[in-house]
Structure 1
Amino acid sequence: MPKIKTNAERMKEKIEKENLKLMQEYSEELKSVTEYTFWGKTHYKYSIYAYYNSFTKKRVYLKKAKFKTSLEAAMHLRNELKKANKEKEKIEKSLLKKSGKYSYSYEFNRIFNEVIEEKKEKGLKISTIQKYKALVKNHLSDDFKNKYINLIEPSELDDILVSYEIHKNGIAKQLFSFLSETYKFAFRKGLIENNHLLNYRGPKRDQKRAPVILSDKELRAIETIINNHQDIFKKVYFNILLNTGMRKSEALALSRKSIDLDNKIIHITNSVTYDEETNKAILSSCKTKASERQIPISTTLTDLIREYIEELPAEQDMLFKNKNNELYRPTYVNGWFKTILKQANCQKATVHDIRHTFITRLHQSKQFDIKQIQRYVGHSNTAVTLNTYIHLNATSLVEVSDFMNELTA
């Protein structure tokens, strides 16, 4: 016969359940609560950054101690945060009114999120959106992001951009580009009276890193290392890059359906990008519409890919997956290539330099016109190719792959 609980036991059980429920409800606040000992007794306290006071130009922190329980501290903190948010809103509205600017506005962070949503609707690539998010997350302070956009002074924008112009020019250009987009959006929506970045010329562009063009000797050494590699995965992957000039993210996105072994053609329809939200590599659209293309491949490369596909598990559609059955991040292959270069005793280069080398070799052969090269490598227009590689003459598109195959033989 089950033991009958006393009233005290039932009451204790009820209190424990209620406490557990409250602990779950206040889980966020509890993260800011810490335990300490005072005169031999256990107490609880909290200390948290609440908001940036645009009037005093100082950060506001909430601190309080001597609570008997962590839950008591968490409940008190929630009430104080509500008061702090009301106080922040009051200060911001007062400053907006005093400055003669609009009586309504949004924090920079909120407008940033709206810009992102608009870009998603317009079909902007996930990789580009992730890049914008990373820029704001890593290179703009919380104080800046939480400020009403109307109250951000031109000098503050200038300080940020000049700082990155001096130290990290590449970051400065990207940050300036996205800040410009955000301010155009805010001006279009009537949230600011003046677009402070309209006449700002942006950071000066430093001279770009010159691409490394691998020599014939280096190409042969690299190919020797690759073809003697015990891992057929890397052998196939780098042979595809060497013989097609494909982007590394495009090669990682290849599937069984991408390869027409009978007609010796690769169909490029996707690329792989890193998704910051899921922390995984995912399939994405190609860099541009021109990047979606069909390229002929040599018999040697076709046979190598055929042999590789035959060894893949029947249920695996994608050509390149890791041991967790996930796609590789494009940055992952950089380490592989670095090791290959070291073994081949070659100069320092990036995976993308394989593509530069491929296109340069086509130019040097003087057998292909600019339109053929542009179509084969997936540039959006001939100007992109001409900006780096000059005049070329004519021959058929199929000869491009045969030429590269002979060059690296």
Structure 2
Amino acid sequence: MAKRSNGEGSVRKRANGSWEARLVYVDEASGAVKRQSFYGRTGADARKQMQAARARLATGAPVIDAKITVEAWCRQWLATTVAASSRRATTRELYEKLLRLHIEPPPFGRLTLDRVRPTDIDALVLRLREKGLAESTVQRIFVVLRLALDGAVRDGVIARNPASAVKQPSIERAEAQHLEATEVVALLDQAAGTRYYALLRLIATTGLRKGEALALRWDAIDLDDGALHVRGTLARSGGRLIVTPPKTALSRRTLPLAPAEVELLVAHRAAQTAERERAQAEWSEHGFVFTTETGRPMDPRNVLRALTTAASKAGLAGANVHTLRHSAATAWIEAGVNIKAVSTLLGHADIRITADVYGHVSDAVARAAMQTLSGLLRP
């Protein structure tokens, strides 16, 4: 077959009075010669559509967008692109949930990709807000949709991503809820005597994330040098508790342990050894620092329940496990630790995250520093 130049076309008037522009091109993927017709009320209308298609071909885009529905595409994207990616299992589950609950249902999910416009996405965002979803959730849904449509562009299903023309929903960075030192002590006092006390105290003094603390194994703790190595995070995925590597290189970090926390862990290890001896054959050894009565890792939901119970008894409504992490960071900053060091201790991927969340504390420290200097320079 003679080689055709990509994008030959012709225009003709049809018997019914409308006009047809026919484009003949070579499909880059298969090498097959294909034809695509464009119809208009005038020859100029039909020719304009054909010229637009030629421009798409020149950029490597499909001649026309596919008519697959948003719902069908999202399922295909999850089953292929996302499944083949290195994303965490928990992230893949989150994508599936957000798409299934908020994007795939009609009316948006019934739209075909070739008909999705930026205004359709704007309307989707408005509907999500009308449902009473938090702005952070709306933003997350938007980001997942944009990723899915990016995949459609990559696969040549559509020429451009309509979400790229929509401004991402923004959220105001909420001031991190934290407890004063006396309140943390009151909460821990209520947890004393439970199997969760050592875990909660360690989070309160090191700023560990809940999943990071639950993923700790004894080989990641050096009691002689007083150091703790963060090597993973534990979460529930697919009905199972799994440990995955830290999301970023900065999350994989080493934290110093104060003497009191070294003593805490020494006592905790002794108690665990005694518990293992009592359990005998029922014990399942995995090396975790914080376990159930049979050696298995603690369920994050049970930890949250224990914290909520202790907080309620201490009269601290609204506190959660993350509150202890925020409280540690706030205490460090108020004590004069520079924000870069705090960011490193927390394992934040970017110091700007730390500054956004704890900027109000930095302002308080700065004001105190000004007042101190002013006092020193008073005549």
TM range (shorter): 0.5 to 0.7
- Name 1:336's counterpart in structure 2: 306
SS of residue in 2 equivalent to 1:282? strand
2:325 is aligned, of 355, 368, 390, to 355
- Name 1:133's counterpart in structure 2: 96
Structure 1 residue 268 and structure 2 residue 248: aligned? no
C-alpha RMSD over aligned residues: 2.9
1:181-234 per-residue CA deviation (whole Å, 9 max, x = no partner) reads 1112212222113422121113343x34432221232122123223xx332x21
- Name 1:216's counterpart in structure 2: 181
Q: Indicate how the Cα distance of structure 1 residues 370 and 156 shifts in structure 2: closer, same or farther if over 3 A, else same.
A: closer
Structure 1 residue 160 and structure 2 residue 136: aligned? no
Identity of aligned pairs, percent?
Answer: 20
- Name 1:200's counterpart in structure 2: 166
- Name 1:49's counterpart in structure 2: none
Q: How many residues align?
A: 290
Code of the aligned partner of 1:213: H
1:389 is aligned, of 337, 358, 364, to 358
Code of the aligned partner of 1:283: V
> Relative to structure 2, which stretch is displaced further, 294-303 or 124-133?
124-133
SS of residue in 2 equivalent to 1:290? coil
Q: Could you tell me how far 1:157 is from its partner in structure 2?
A: 3.0
Q: Could you tell me how far 1:109 is from its partner in structure 2?
A: 4.4
Q: Could you tell me how far 1:123 is from its partner in structure 2?
A: 2.3
For residues 76-115 of structure 1, the aligned pairs below 5 Å read: 102=64, 104=66, 106-113=68-75, 115=77
* Counterpart-to-counterpart distance in 1, 2:144 and 2:197: 39
Q: Indicate how the Cα distance of structure 1 residues 383 and 154 shifts in structure 2: closer, same or farther if over 3 A, else same.
A: closer
1:39-66 per-residue CA deviation (whole Å, 9 max, x = no partner) reads xxxxxxxxxxxxxxxxxxxxxxxxxxxx
1:377 is aligned, of 346, 356, 364, to 346
Q: Could you tell me how far 1:106 is from its partner in structure 2?
A: 4.0
* Counterpart-to-counterpart distance in 1, 2:228 and 2:38: 62
Q: Could you tell me how far 1:154 is from its partner in structure 2?
A: 4.7
Q: Indicate how the Cα distance of structure 1 residues 273 and 114 shifts in structure 2: closer, same or farther if over 3 A, else same.
A: farther
Q: Could you tell me how far 1:311 is from its partner in structure 2?
A: 3.1
Structure 1 gaps, min length 5: 1-95, 393-409
Q: Could you tell me how far 1:115 is from its partner in structure 2?
A: 4.1
Code of the aligned partner of 1:160: L
- Name 1:43's counterpart in structure 2: none
Structure 2 gaps, min length 5: 1-36, 41-48, 50-62, 278-284, 364-379
Whether the aligned pair in 2 keeps the contact of 1:165 and 1:203 (CA below 8 Å) is no
1:209-260 per-residue CA deviation (whole Å, 9 max, x = no partner) reads 432221232122123223xx332x2111111111101111100111111211
* Counterpart-to-counterpart distance in 1, 2:96 and 2:258: 41
For residues 43-54 of structure 1, the aligned pairs below 5 Å read: none
Q: Indicate how the Cα distance of structure 1 residues 318 and 353 shifts in structure 2: closer, same or farther if over 3 A, else same.
A: same
- Name 1:345's counterpart in structure 2: 315
- Name 1:307's counterpart in structure 2: 267
* Counterpart-to-counterpart distance in 1, 2:229 and 2:155: 42
